[in-house]
Amino acid sequence: MLVIVAPGQGAQTPGFLEPWLEDPAFESRLHWLSAVAGLDLAHYGTQADAETIRDTAIAQPLLVASGLLGALSVFPHPADAFATIGAAAGHSVGEIAAAAGVGVISAEQAMVLVRERGKAMAAAAAQTATSMTAVLGGDRDEVLAKIAEHGLTAANDNGPGQIVAAGTVEELAAFAEDPPAKARLVPLSVAGAFHTKHMEPAVQTLDRYAAAVSTHDPRTRLISNRDGQVVHDGREVLHRLVQQVNSPVRWDLCLQTMADLQVTGILEMPPAGTLTGIAKRALKGVETFALKTPDQLDDARTFVEKHGSPSEIDASPTWRLLVAPLKGTFTREGRVRRESGDTVEAGEVVATVKSLRDELEVRAPHGGIVVEWLAEEGDPVAPGQPLVRLHPSGGN
């Protein structure tokens, strides 16, 4: 199985888009996304220095645009991608690129959303002097306890041996004086304490914009930053994109879901390297490909052919699918047993998936009529596996 991933803030480096702009198609698309974002992304991706592209309001649109256009370079006919991509995910702001890539929102909606996200987060960061520090190594429980002791937030949990602490400059300075045992601290070049309570003003701003954004259900599995679950309702994806601004990124749980899916290949969009580096440490035996320059495109397509397989999610407009949010056991035990032809109400619990870690209810976000059940009582199910097909009813 192939998973496509998009990196988050901090992955950008000066000049990383320069070789890509030699392609007229890439240049033209970037020009269009620049117009939507109200920024000269070609300039920022080729000429601007590290300090300039560190600015949240610049870095975030730059990253989303490069992720989207990198994917279009690999898949010139986007519809072909869904015959090969088993899942997609993005780290922090990269999740906006992933959401657009799987069809939840358009590229233009993604650029407007990330434009306003970047500005709102920059404004929130300006209210208090905050930052982030990577904690490498150490005992996980001790690291988390020490972060909490200093009033900080574990803003990114990136997998074994890499947690990012975030908070005020004063809190981080005290943390540096009293670090966890056997851990190395690396201050990050970011403009604020992202994914913490300090970003609450940005959440409020984005929530107002999101109310006007139309969505579609993902065309393949989309793994959520919040908890590693596969989310298949477009409105829920958008809600999570807004809420993740002040919520921790649980990339460790995203990696666990990839392992549960038995992923064999991970392809990272430009500016690539960060997420494939994490995957190499956390997912032993999984091949990775960091797409950094256009001269790698042929090799990237070969990588896709090697690992690609069709998604189980059929995005036909004539029905809606409810899917398993995580790996576990499917059951309708104790629920009203809806059979083919029965009506399901919006918000109704139709099934439960039980794992060693969680027991999650599967709700119908919209009403519908049961066309067919795709899983049997007691079946083991994979993340994103379709459970039931519903025909929309009423105004859905």
User: What is the C-alpha to C-alpha distance for residues 196 and 200, in angstroms, rounded to an integer?
Assistant: 8
CA angle 246–385–267, rounded 5-degree value: 65
Instruction: Characterise 317 by phi-psi region: left (phi > 0), alpha (psi -120 to 50), beta (else).
Output: alpha
User: What is the C-alpha to C-alpha distance for residues 353 and 223, in angstroms, rounded to an integer?
Assistant: 16
CB 340 within 8 A of CB 246: no
**Rg (Cα) of the chain, in Å, rounded?**
21
Alpha helices in 187-340 (DSSP H): 200-210, 234-243, 251-260, 274-282, 297-307
Strands (E), 115-228: 130-137, 153-157, 162-168, 183-187, 221-222
Task: Please identify every residue annotated as catalytic.
Answer: 92, 195
User: What is the C-alpha to C-alpha distance for residues 334 and 7, in angstroms, rounded to an integer?
Assistant: 42
User: What is the C-alpha to C-alpha distance for residues 266 and 384, in angstroms, rounded to an integer?
Assistant: 17
Alpha helices in 283-319 (DSSP H): 297-307
User: What is the C-alpha to C-alpha distance for residues 60 and 245, in angstroms, rounded to an integer?
Assistant: 12
CB 280 within 8 A of CB 96: no
User: What is the C-alpha to C-alpha distance for residues 349 and 366, in angstroms, rounded to an integer?
Assistant: 11
